[in-house]
Structure 1
Amino acid sequence: MKLEKPAKRMTLRELLTHAEKCSRDLLDHYQGNVLPHTAEFRDLNRPVRRRSHYPTLMAMQNALNMLEEASSEGMERTNYLLEQLQSIRESASREVANRI
């Protein structure tokens, strides 16, 4: 979820609201994408397999690729949220400095 206007032009309340939305999106991404791909990969490589006694190497590789793709997207979202939180910290420190 990208911003419409630059972070420096947003109020502190708008920054906090946007960061909250980003954190909810990040949580939804991990619950909806990363955890299911992790469970699928785990089911394929666990000692007692549910699906097939001997999964193919291609199935293992595809599951690992999907897990890697989902986790890299999660890392991008996490980095974006960290940038937003840093801009909130900078904005809050500016507000405190202006009041003193």
Structure 2
Amino acid sequence: MLTEKQIATETHKQKSKFVTVIHPEKLIATKTTEENNDNTFLISWLFLIGSLMFLLDGFIELSEGLSIHVLLHITASGVFTIASALFIPKK
């Protein structure tokens, strides 16, 4: 008859027999690191350009009159512009 410790050891051995399998189609669909860096660089610049456009829109709106909405628009656009600039990867 097996002791409690032997039963626990056998149970642990049986549980640790899992194998990770990667489907072949998943291997083909992955991109290389260089391709990912190129996409990230382009996407970062597009976000920066878009945030600068929103910042410009906020200043144009400011010319029509000062309000809390205008200040919120300019502040949010400024923060988004700074974040977008800091997110650009170094090449």
Bigger Rg, which one: 2
**TM-score by structure 2 length?**
0.49
**Greater relative contact order structure (CA < 8 Å, 6+ sep):** 1
**TM-score by structure 1 length?**
0.46
Q: Whose helix fraction is larger, Structure 1's or Structure 2's?
A: 1
